[in-house]
Amino acid sequence: MHISRIGRRAARLLAAASLTALFIGTVQAEGPQVVSGPAGDPECFAPWTSDTKFFQYPKKEGPYRIALANGFIGNTWRIQMIKTAKAYAEQPDVKAKLKEFKVVSTGEDLAAQLAAVDNFIDSGYDAIVVNAQNPAAFTPVIKRANKAGVVLVAFDNILDSDEVINVNVDQKGLGEYWADWLVKNIPDGGRVLEVRGVEGTSVDRDRHEGIQEVLKASGKPWETVEVVGKWDDGTAQKVVADAIAVHKSFVGVTVQGGSTGTVRAMMDAGHPFVPVGGETENGFRKLCGEHAKDGLKCASGGTGPAQVAVAIKTAIAALEGEVVPQSIKLPLAKVEDPGFKDGENFYSDQSDNFFVGNAFPTCGINFTAQEIMGQSEANQ
Protein backbone atom coordinates (compact mmCIF):
# COMPACT_ATOMS: atom_id res chain seq x y z
CA MET A 1 0.00 0.00 0.00
CA HIS A 2 2.78 2.38 0.94
CA ILE A 3 4.67 1.59 -2.24
CA SER A 4 1.49 2.05 -4.24
CA ARG A 5 0.87 5.51 -2.74
CA ILE A 6 4.48 6.51 -3.50
CA GLY A 7 4.07 5.24 -7.02
CA ARG A 8 0.86 7.15 -7.54
CA ARG A 9 2.42 10.32 -6.10
CA ALA A 10 5.46 9.94 -8.35
CA ALA A 11 3.18 9.49 -11.32
CA ARG A 12 1.27 12.65 -10.45
CA LEU A 13 4.52 14.60 -10.04
CA LEU A 14 5.81 13.25 -13.34
CA ALA A 15 2.57 14.21 -15.06
CA ALA A 16 2.70 17.70 -13.53
CA ALA A 17 6.32 18.10 -14.58
CA SER A 18 5.45 17.00 -18.09
CA LEU A 19 2.62 19.54 -18.25
CA THR A 20 4.92 22.26 -16.93
CA ALA A 21 7.55 21.39 -19.49
CA LEU A 22 4.91 21.37 -22.21
CA PHE A 23 3.61 24.77 -21.03
CA ILE A 24 7.11 26.25 -20.94
CA GLY A 25 7.87 24.84 -24.35
CA THR A 26 4.65 26.30 -25.71
CA VAL A 27 5.44 29.74 -24.27
CA GLN A 28 8.94 29.63 -25.69
CA ALA A 29 7.56 28.61 -29.07
CA GLU A 30 5.20 31.58 -29.25
CA GLY A 31 6.53 34.41 -31.36
CA PRO A 32 10.13 34.99 -32.29
CA GLN A 33 13.17 34.05 -30.25
CA VAL A 34 15.68 36.80 -29.53
CA VAL A 35 19.01 35.63 -30.94
CA SER A 36 22.43 36.98 -31.82
CA GLY A 37 23.01 38.79 -35.12
CA PRO A 38 23.89 39.40 -37.83
CA ALA A 39 20.88 38.91 -40.10
CA GLY A 40 20.80 36.15 -42.66
CA ASP A 41 20.96 38.84 -45.37
CA PRO A 42 22.87 41.66 -43.65
CA GLU A 43 23.08 43.90 -46.73
CA CYS A 44 19.31 44.02 -47.14
CA PHE A 45 18.22 43.69 -43.51
CA ALA A 46 20.21 46.47 -41.88
CA PRO A 47 19.52 46.89 -38.14
CA TRP A 48 18.25 50.30 -37.04
CA THR A 49 21.01 50.77 -34.47
CA SER A 50 23.85 48.79 -32.94
CA ASP A 51 21.48 47.97 -30.06
CA THR A 52 18.72 46.53 -32.25
CA LYS A 53 17.84 43.00 -31.23
CA PHE A 54 17.51 40.14 -33.70
CA PHE A 55 14.58 37.74 -34.14
CA GLN A 56 14.34 34.18 -35.34
CA TYR A 57 11.00 32.52 -35.92
CA PRO A 58 10.46 28.75 -36.12
CA LYS A 59 11.04 27.63 -39.69
CA LYS A 60 7.90 26.81 -41.68
CA GLU A 61 7.66 24.88 -44.90
CA GLY A 62 6.32 26.87 -47.82
CA PRO A 63 4.60 27.89 -49.95
CA TYR A 64 3.14 30.58 -47.70
CA ARG A 65 -0.09 32.52 -47.33
CA ILE A 66 0.79 36.20 -46.85
CA ALA A 67 -1.56 39.15 -46.47
CA LEU A 68 -1.12 42.91 -46.75
CA ALA A 69 -3.37 44.82 -44.33
CA ASN A 70 -3.32 48.43 -45.47
CA GLY A 71 -5.20 51.30 -43.82
CA PHE A 72 -5.50 54.63 -45.64
CA ILE A 73 -5.79 54.33 -49.41
CA GLY A 74 -6.68 57.84 -50.59
CA ASN A 75 -3.40 59.00 -52.13
CA THR A 76 -0.98 58.14 -54.88
CA TRP A 77 1.70 56.71 -52.58
CA ARG A 78 -0.66 54.12 -51.09
CA ILE A 79 -2.07 53.16 -54.49
CA GLN A 80 1.43 52.75 -55.88
CA MET A 81 2.44 50.81 -52.76
CA ILE A 82 -0.35 48.26 -53.29
CA LYS A 83 0.52 47.93 -56.96
CA THR A 84 4.18 47.44 -56.02
CA ALA A 85 3.26 44.72 -53.53
CA LYS A 86 1.32 42.88 -56.20
CA ALA A 87 4.12 43.31 -58.73
CA TYR A 88 6.63 41.92 -56.24
CA ALA A 89 4.39 38.95 -55.44
CA GLU A 90 4.26 38.17 -59.17
CA GLN A 91 8.03 38.02 -59.62
CA PRO A 92 8.84 34.37 -60.41
CA ASP A 93 11.23 33.71 -57.52
CA VAL A 94 8.78 35.28 -55.05
CA LYS A 95 5.64 33.74 -56.57
CA ALA A 96 7.19 30.27 -56.18
CA LYS A 97 7.22 30.80 -52.40
CA LEU A 98 3.61 32.00 -52.15
CA LYS A 99 0.50 29.87 -51.95
CA GLU A 100 -1.63 33.02 -51.67
CA PHE A 101 -1.11 36.78 -51.51
CA LYS A 102 -4.08 38.80 -50.27
CA VAL A 103 -4.51 42.59 -50.09
CA VAL A 104 -7.08 44.47 -48.00
CA SER A 105 -7.37 48.25 -47.50
CA THR A 106 -9.64 49.45 -44.71
CA GLY A 107 -9.35 53.24 -44.98
CA GLU A 108 -8.95 55.42 -41.92
CA ASP A 109 -11.11 53.16 -39.76
CA LEU A 110 -8.63 51.80 -37.20
CA ALA A 111 -11.10 49.25 -35.81
CA ALA A 112 -11.63 47.87 -39.31
CA GLN A 113 -7.89 47.47 -39.85
CA LEU A 114 -7.44 45.69 -36.52
CA ALA A 115 -10.37 43.42 -37.38
CA ALA A 116 -8.82 42.65 -40.77
CA VAL A 117 -5.53 41.61 -39.14
CA ASP A 118 -7.43 39.48 -36.62
CA ASN A 119 -9.30 37.83 -39.47
CA PHE A 120 -6.06 36.97 -41.26
CA ILE A 121 -4.69 35.46 -38.04
CA ASP A 122 -7.87 33.40 -37.52
CA SER A 123 -7.79 32.30 -41.17
CA GLY A 124 -4.36 30.76 -40.77
CA TYR A 125 -2.19 33.12 -42.79
CA ASP A 126 1.51 32.58 -42.22
CA ALA A 127 2.51 36.26 -42.30
CA ILE A 128 0.84 39.66 -42.36
CA VAL A 129 2.48 42.91 -43.45
CA VAL A 130 0.76 46.04 -42.22
CA ASN A 131 0.90 49.78 -42.89
CA ALA A 132 -0.59 50.77 -39.54
CA GLN A 133 -3.27 53.40 -39.10
CA ASN A 134 -2.16 53.99 -35.51
CA PRO A 135 1.25 53.09 -34.01
CA ALA A 136 0.05 52.33 -30.48
CA ALA A 137 -3.18 50.35 -30.96
CA PHE A 138 -1.81 47.00 -32.13
CA THR A 139 -0.54 45.52 -28.84
CA PRO A 140 -3.39 42.97 -28.51
CA VAL A 141 -3.01 42.03 -32.19
CA ILE A 142 0.75 41.53 -31.78
CA LYS A 143 0.12 39.17 -28.87
CA ARG A 144 -2.45 37.18 -30.86
CA ALA A 145 -0.14 36.95 -33.88
CA ASN A 146 2.75 35.71 -31.76
CA LYS A 147 0.53 33.19 -29.97
CA ALA A 148 -0.67 31.87 -33.34
CA GLY A 149 2.86 31.72 -34.79
CA VAL A 150 2.05 34.38 -37.40
CA VAL A 151 4.90 36.64 -38.56
CA LEU A 152 3.78 40.27 -38.34
CA VAL A 153 5.81 42.91 -40.21
CA ALA A 154 4.94 46.62 -39.99
CA PHE A 155 6.34 49.04 -42.57
CA ASP A 156 6.14 52.76 -43.36
CA ASN A 157 3.66 53.59 -40.58
CA ILE A 158 5.22 51.23 -38.07
CA LEU A 159 4.23 50.10 -34.57
CA ASP A 160 5.40 51.41 -31.22
CA SER A 161 6.60 47.98 -30.13
CA ASP A 162 9.84 46.03 -30.02
CA GLU A 163 7.90 42.74 -30.14
CA VAL A 164 7.17 42.96 -33.85
CA ILE A 165 9.34 43.47 -36.95
CA ASN A 166 9.38 47.09 -38.17
CA VAL A 167 10.68 48.11 -41.61
CA ASN A 168 11.06 51.81 -42.29
CA VAL A 169 13.18 54.77 -43.29
CA ASP A 170 14.13 57.32 -40.65
CA GLN A 171 10.90 59.32 -40.86
CA LYS A 172 11.92 61.76 -38.16
CA GLY A 173 15.28 62.11 -39.90
CA LEU A 174 13.43 62.99 -43.11
CA GLY A 175 11.63 65.81 -41.31
CA GLU A 176 14.96 66.95 -39.92
CA TYR A 177 16.46 66.90 -43.43
CA TRP A 178 13.72 69.15 -44.85
CA ALA A 179 13.89 71.58 -41.95
CA ASP A 180 17.67 71.73 -41.96
CA TRP A 181 17.60 72.50 -45.67
CA LEU A 182 15.09 75.32 -45.07
CA VAL A 183 17.26 76.73 -42.28
CA LYS A 184 20.24 76.83 -44.64
CA ASN A 185 18.26 78.44 -47.45
CA ILE A 186 16.21 81.00 -45.50
CA PRO A 187 18.67 83.31 -43.74
CA ASP A 188 16.30 85.25 -41.49
CA GLY A 189 13.55 82.79 -40.61
CA GLY A 190 9.90 83.78 -40.99
CA ARG A 191 6.53 82.17 -41.62
CA VAL A 192 6.69 78.66 -43.09
CA LEU A 193 3.89 76.44 -44.28
CA GLU A 194 3.95 72.84 -43.04
CA VAL A 195 1.75 70.50 -45.09
CA ARG A 196 1.17 67.46 -42.88
CA GLY A 197 0.04 63.92 -43.72
CA VAL A 198 -2.64 61.62 -42.34
CA GLU A 199 -3.47 62.46 -38.74
CA GLY A 200 -2.74 59.83 -36.10
CA THR A 201 -0.09 57.94 -38.09
CA SER A 202 3.48 57.42 -36.97
CA VAL A 203 4.90 58.87 -40.21
CA ASP A 204 3.02 62.16 -39.80
CA ARG A 205 4.00 62.37 -36.14
CA ASP A 206 7.67 61.57 -36.69
CA ARG A 207 8.17 63.87 -39.68
CA HIS A 208 6.42 66.72 -37.88
CA GLU A 209 8.58 66.27 -34.77
CA GLY A 210 11.75 66.28 -36.87
CA ILE A 211 10.74 69.48 -38.66
CA GLN A 212 9.77 71.34 -35.53
CA GLU A 213 12.77 70.30 -33.46
CA VAL A 214 15.24 71.52 -36.10
CA LEU A 215 13.43 74.82 -36.62
CA LYS A 216 13.34 75.51 -32.89
CA ALA A 217 16.99 74.54 -32.44
CA SER A 218 18.12 76.90 -35.23
CA GLY A 219 17.62 80.02 -33.11
CA LYS A 220 15.89 81.80 -35.99
CA PRO A 221 12.44 83.36 -35.56
CA TRP A 222 10.02 80.89 -37.18
CA GLU A 223 6.24 80.91 -37.34
CA THR A 224 4.66 77.67 -38.59
CA VAL A 225 1.25 77.40 -40.20
CA GLU A 226 0.06 73.77 -40.34
CA VAL A 227 -2.44 72.32 -42.81
CA VAL A 228 -3.46 68.69 -43.36
CA GLY A 229 -2.74 67.52 -46.89
CA LYS A 230 -3.13 63.76 -46.29
CA TRP A 231 -0.10 63.06 -48.54
CA ASP A 232 -2.42 63.68 -51.49
CA ASP A 233 -1.95 66.15 -54.36
CA GLY A 234 -5.59 67.22 -54.67
CA THR A 235 -6.06 67.68 -50.92
CA ALA A 236 -2.72 69.47 -50.54
CA GLN A 237 -3.45 71.78 -53.46
CA LYS A 238 -6.74 72.87 -51.87
CA VAL A 239 -5.46 73.42 -48.32
CA VAL A 240 -2.35 75.24 -49.56
CA ALA A 241 -4.51 77.53 -51.72
CA ASP A 242 -6.66 78.24 -48.65
CA ALA A 243 -3.57 78.93 -46.51
CA ILE A 244 -2.19 81.39 -49.07
CA ALA A 245 -5.56 83.14 -49.24
CA VAL A 246 -5.54 83.62 -45.46
CA HIS A 247 -1.86 84.26 -44.71
CA LYS A 248 -0.84 85.85 -48.06
CA SER A 249 2.82 84.76 -48.07
CA PHE A 250 5.33 82.26 -46.76
CA VAL A 251 9.13 82.23 -46.79
CA GLY A 252 9.32 78.46 -47.18
CA VAL A 253 7.32 75.23 -47.28
CA THR A 254 7.69 71.68 -46.01
CA VAL A 255 5.31 69.11 -47.44
CA GLN A 256 5.17 65.47 -46.36
CA GLY A 257 3.32 64.37 -49.48
CA GLY A 258 1.19 66.04 -52.12
CA SER A 259 4.26 68.04 -53.09
CA THR A 260 3.19 68.47 -56.72
CA GLY A 261 -0.19 69.87 -55.67
CA THR A 262 1.49 72.16 -53.17
CA VAL A 263 3.73 73.79 -55.77
CA ARG A 264 0.88 74.06 -58.27
CA ALA A 265 -1.25 75.85 -55.65
CA MET A 266 1.53 78.36 -55.12
CA MET A 267 1.86 78.92 -58.87
CA ASP A 268 -1.90 79.28 -59.34
CA ALA A 269 -2.01 81.87 -56.54
CA GLY A 270 0.89 83.83 -58.02
CA HIS A 271 2.92 83.23 -54.88
CA PRO A 272 6.64 83.91 -55.42
CA PHE A 273 8.78 80.78 -55.57
CA VAL A 274 10.30 79.96 -52.17
CA PRO A 275 12.37 77.02 -50.89
CA VAL A 276 10.24 73.85 -50.74
CA GLY A 277 11.22 70.64 -48.97
CA GLY A 278 9.04 67.83 -50.28
CA GLU A 279 8.65 64.14 -51.03
CA THR A 280 9.78 62.11 -54.04
CA GLU A 281 6.81 62.54 -56.37
CA ASN A 282 7.84 62.58 -60.00
CA GLY A 283 5.61 65.61 -60.67
CA PHE A 284 7.25 67.60 -57.88
CA ARG A 285 10.71 66.84 -59.21
CA LYS A 286 9.59 67.79 -62.72
CA LEU A 287 8.48 71.19 -61.43
CA CYS A 288 11.71 71.62 -59.47
CA GLY A 289 13.78 70.93 -62.57
CA GLU A 290 11.64 73.02 -64.90
CA HIS A 291 11.37 76.10 -62.67
CA ALA A 292 14.81 76.19 -61.08
CA LYS A 293 15.66 78.99 -63.50
CA ASP A 294 12.62 80.90 -62.21
CA GLY A 295 13.72 80.74 -58.59
CA LEU A 296 12.10 77.51 -57.35
CA LYS A 297 14.56 75.83 -54.99
CA CYS A 298 13.71 72.32 -53.83
CA ALA A 299 14.88 69.49 -51.66
CA SER A 300 13.19 66.16 -52.41
CA GLY A 301 13.54 63.27 -50.00
CA GLY A 302 11.72 60.13 -48.99
CA THR A 303 11.40 56.55 -50.04
CA GLY A 304 9.33 55.01 -52.78
CA PRO A 305 6.47 52.64 -52.02
CA ALA A 306 8.80 49.72 -52.83
CA GLN A 307 9.52 49.48 -49.12
CA VAL A 308 6.45 47.20 -49.08
CA ALA A 309 8.49 44.73 -51.15
CA VAL A 310 11.22 44.79 -48.49
CA ALA A 311 8.55 44.08 -45.87
CA ILE A 312 7.28 41.07 -47.85
CA LYS A 313 10.84 39.86 -48.41
CA THR A 314 11.44 40.16 -44.65
CA ALA A 315 8.29 38.18 -43.86
CA ILE A 316 9.36 35.36 -46.18
CA ALA A 317 12.87 35.32 -44.71
CA ALA A 318 11.41 35.10 -41.20
CA LEU A 319 9.12 32.23 -42.22
CA GLU A 320 12.13 30.42 -43.67
CA GLY A 321 13.83 30.64 -40.28
CA GLU A 322 16.37 33.33 -41.17
CA VAL A 323 17.64 35.74 -38.53
CA VAL A 324 16.22 39.25 -39.08
CA PRO A 325 16.55 42.51 -37.12
CA GLN A 326 13.56 43.55 -35.06
CA SER A 327 13.86 47.02 -36.64
CA ILE A 328 15.15 47.33 -40.22
CA LYS A 329 16.39 50.67 -41.54
CA LEU A 330 16.02 51.54 -45.23
CA PRO A 331 17.95 54.29 -47.03
CA LEU A 332 16.37 57.58 -48.08
CA ALA A 333 16.38 58.75 -51.69
CA LYS A 334 17.38 62.44 -51.67
CA VAL A 335 18.14 65.12 -54.26
CA GLU A 336 18.19 68.90 -53.96
CA ASP A 337 18.70 71.98 -56.09
CA PRO A 338 20.61 72.15 -58.44
CA GLY A 339 20.82 68.36 -58.77
CA PHE A 340 17.50 67.57 -60.51
CA LYS A 341 18.26 65.69 -63.74
CA ASP A 342 15.66 64.37 -66.17
CA GLY A 343 16.09 60.64 -66.78
CA GLU A 344 18.20 60.24 -63.66
CA ASN A 345 16.18 61.27 -60.62
CA PHE A 346 12.91 62.31 -62.30
CA TYR A 347 11.22 61.32 -65.55
CA SER A 348 9.48 63.89 -67.72
CA ASP A 349 7.90 61.16 -69.86
CA GLN A 350 6.22 59.51 -66.86
CA SER A 351 3.12 60.44 -64.89
CA ASP A 352 3.29 63.09 -62.20
CA ASN A 353 1.60 60.57 -59.92
CA PHE A 354 4.60 58.30 -59.62
CA PHE A 355 7.05 58.17 -56.74
CA VAL A 356 10.68 57.82 -57.78
CA GLY A 357 13.37 56.30 -55.59
CA ASN A 358 11.74 52.88 -55.96
CA ALA A 359 14.89 50.80 -55.82
CA PHE A 360 16.60 48.98 -52.98
CA PRO A 361 19.56 47.41 -54.78
CA THR A 362 20.96 45.78 -51.63
CA CYS A 363 17.70 43.80 -51.46
CA GLY A 364 17.57 43.03 -55.18
CA ILE A 365 14.47 45.22 -55.54
CA ASN A 366 14.11 47.60 -58.49
CA PHE A 367 10.86 48.33 -60.29
CA THR A 368 10.08 50.15 -63.51
CA ALA A 369 7.07 52.45 -63.71
CA GLN A 370 5.45 50.11 -66.23
CA GLU A 371 5.88 47.08 -63.97
CA ILE A 372 4.12 48.82 -61.09
CA MET A 373 1.41 50.84 -62.79
CA GLY A 374 0.09 47.83 -64.67
CA GLN A 375 -1.19 46.33 -61.42
CA SER A 376 -4.57 46.90 -59.77
CA GLU A 377 -4.99 48.71 -56.45
CA ALA A 378 -8.23 46.87 -55.62
CA ASN A 379 -8.66 44.55 -52.63
CA GLN A 380 -8.16 40.96 -53.71
State the pLDDT at residue 354: 86
- Whether residue 377 is predicted with pLDDT greater than 80 in this model: the reply is no
- What pLDDT, on the 0 to 100 scale, is given for residue 243? 98
Distance CA 42, CA 367 (A): 22
d(CA 313, CA 309): 6
Give the CA-trace dihedral at 188, 190, 195, 197, to 10 degrees: 80
For the chain, give the percent of residues with pLDDT over 70. Answer: 89
* pLDDT recorded at residue 4: 41
Q: For residue 22, is pLDDT > 60?
A: no
The per-residue pLDDT for 370 is 60
- Does the pLDDT at position 5 exceed 80? no
More confident position, 264 or 14 = 264
- pLDDT mean over 248-277: 98
Find the mean pLDDT for residues 76-89: 92
Please give the residue that has the higher pLDDT: either 4 or 283.
Answer: 283
Q: State the pLDDT confidence band at 369, using cuts at 50, 70 and 90.
A: low
To the nearest 10°, the Cα dihedral for 305, 310, 315, 321?
Answer: 180
From 1-15, 32-46, 238-252, the region with the lowest mean pLDDT: 1-15
Whole-angstrom distance, CA of residue 171 vs CA of residue 207: 5
Mean pLDDT of 327-331: 94
- pLDDT-based confidence at residue 21 (cuts at 50, 70, 90): very low
Measure Cα distances from 157 to 69, 189, 197 in Å: 12, 31, 11
More confident position, 351 or 309: 309
pLDDT score for 73: 87
Q: Is it the case that residue 24 has pLDDT exceeding 90? A: no
123: helix, coil or strand? coil
> In the prediction, which pLDDT does 316 show?
98
Q: In the prediction, which pLDDT does 8 show?
A: 46
One-letter amino acid of 110: L
Tell me what the pLDDT averaged over the chain comes to. 90
> Is the pLDDT assigned to residue 373 strictly greater than 70?
no
More confident residue, 72 or 272: 272
